[in-house]
Amino acid sequence: NAGVTQTPKFRVLKTGQSMTLLCAQDMNHEYMYWYRQDPGMGLRLIHYSVGEGTTAKGEVPDGYNVSRLKKQNFLLGLESAAPSQTSVYFCASKGVGAITNYGYTFGSGTRLTVV
């Protein structure tokens, strides 16, 4: 049972390059999220999805795009990377159901450096 898998784990980009981060979950969760983590700022929500084919903006969406073409996958794209996007990116997923199942499963993170 893999849970939430993020690929790649590390990446170095040059300013202006593009890339896609992949998040895959095998728990049949409806909700998926992309967060970025920066020192002293905690985790901030970039985009999220409440189901296949849906996406919504979070707290810091600028410079990122997302797609949820399949329920199990949530892609985060950077069209033109900037040094300000150097960060650790975390994907998370959550199922629906009883409120006591309000649990999130996090991936292990992707460390992205933009030079």
Partner 1 sequence: AQSVTQPDIHITVSEGASLELRCNYSYGATPYLFWYVQSPGQGLQLLLKYFSGDTLVQGIKGFEAEFKRSQSSFNLRKPSVHWSDAAEYFCAVGVGDKLVFGAGTILRVKS
The binding site for partner 1 (CB under 8 A) comprises: 31, 33, 35, 40-45, 48, 50, 58, 90, 92, 94, 99-100, 102-104, 106-109
Nearer to partner 1, 83 or 103 (CB): 103
- For residue 24, CA distances in Å to 31, 39, 76 come to 12, 26, 11
The minimum distance between CB 53 and partner 1, in angstroms, equals 16
The minimum distance between CB 20 and partner 1, in angstroms, equals 20
Selection from 50, 32, 8 nearest residue 91 by Cα: 32
Nearer to partner 1, 31 or 72 (CB): 31
Nearer to partner 1, 74 or 90 (CB): 90
Rg over CA atoms, the chain: 14
- For residue 65, CA distances in Å to 1, 40, 57, 68, 86 come to 28, 25, 9, 11, 16
The minimum distance between CB 18 and partner 1, in angstroms, equals 25
